[in-house]
Amino acid sequence: MSDTDHVLPRVGDDVNAGPHPWRRFVAIGDSFTEGIGDPEPASPGGHRGWADRVAEVLGSQVPDFAYANLAVRGRLIGQIVAEQIDPALALAPDLVTLCAGGNDIIRPGADPDTVASIFEDAVVRLAGTGATVVIFTGIDVGWQPVFRSMRGKIAIYNENLRSIADRYDCVVADQWALKEIQDPRFFDADRLHLNSLGHHEVARMVLRALNVPNDLTPMQPDPYPVTTWRTARASDLVWARTHLVPWVLRRLRHESSGDRITAKRPDPAPVQFLAPGRDAAAERGEQV
């Protein structure tokens, strides 16, 4: 692609007047970008996620669009920088999304300023190519009792990220302000990863940040189930046994959920289009 093919928009530019300018999208990150919590057998790696959903919209609007996803669950920011930045640059993207640091920030003793410094080094390299770079703030966890104590550290990290975005003209995908997903019905059973509803809402937010018109509409969760205090505490015990304890044991053993996982879309390829949200299985005639 030559420099004269199109001019990439700067933050705040209105690109709604015509087709979006991007032809090669590369997503970098951890489980959030891999799509964990949003299972979809028809997607590479068995997970769909917000990045796949964004790529489907972008690919439907322009010809010759290709999408790669290098994200791997469990990766710390140092691993993401070491394992994904060079391969991403080699793919010559004109649109890059980078969400990293969340797995570091939730660890005891993590310094949000140190994590942000590593993040900035990655942004410098990506932005230096002229690609549009999208970065993500962390989710506001004030409503989650288990993670509420981390809220202040996440907020500090977010302010660092906003400053980085200002310095390098990045697009900010603001999850902190995305109130729709501050609801347990938008999260997977592990209470850490978004489910299909959550990934759908993040995709809509990213497309808004990019000023890309689309027909994705809000998805309504099922009503809150009627439950008792005893039932809720029993559910908490099941969650702790099924998800929290294995997570703690992996930390103690210096293991990661992504130790034997590779990127689901290491090479840019055309996008397979699925129906919005939870309708993909219905399109194939399967039980939803």
* Domain that residue 159 falls in: 24-215+261-278
Query: Is 237 inside a domain boundary?
Result: no
Is there a domain that residue 19 lies in? no
Q: How far apart are the first and last CA of the chain?
A: 42
SS3 148: helix
Kindly report the length of the chain. 288
Burial 32-43 (b: 16+ CB within 10 A, else e): bbbbbbbbbeeb
In angstroms, the CA 123 to CA 169 distance is 10
pLDDT of residue 6: 40
Residue 89 belongs to a domain: yes
Look up the CATH number of the domain holding residue 150. Answer: 3.40.50.1110
Q: Where are the beta strands (DSSP E) in the chain?
A: 24-29, 66-69, 95-99, 132-136, 171-173, 265-269
**Does 17 fall in a domain?**
no
DSSP state of 243: I
Give how many domains the chain has, as a whole number.
1
d(CA 65, CA 61): 9
Q: Coil, strand or helix: which one is 120?
A: helix
Residue 8: inside a domain, yes or no? no
Residue 141 lies in a domain: yes
Nearest to 240 by CA among 165, 172, 189, 184: 189
For each of the chain's 288 residues, which pLDDT tens digit applies? 444 344 444 444 454 567 999 999 999 999 999 999 999 888 888 999 999 999 999 999 999 999 999 999 999 999 999 999 999 999 999 999 999 999 999 888 999 999 999 999 999 999 999 999 999 999 999 888 878 899 999 999 999 999 999 999 999 999 999 999 999 899 887 868 999 999 999 999 999 999 999 999 988 887 777 676 666 566 656 655 665 556 555 555 566 665 578 899 999 999 877 755 544 443 433 333
Contact at 8 Å (CB) between 38 and 73?
no
Which two tokens mark 21? 């300018």
Q: In what order do the strands lie in the sheet with 66-69?
A: 171-173, 132-136, 95-99, 24-29, 66-69, 265-269
Q: Are 55 and 265 in contact (CB under 8 A)?
A: no
Cβ within 8 Å of residue 26, ≥6 positions away: 67, 68, 69, 70, 88, 91, 93, 95, 96, 97, 268
Q: Tokens for 220?
A: 């309504």
168 close to 45: Cβ distance less than 8 angstroms: no
Written as six digits, the tokens of 11 are 């933050």
pLDDT for residue 225: 72
Strand partners, 66: 24
> Per the domain annotation, does 283 fall within a domain?
no
Look at residue 96 and tell me if it is in a domain.
yes
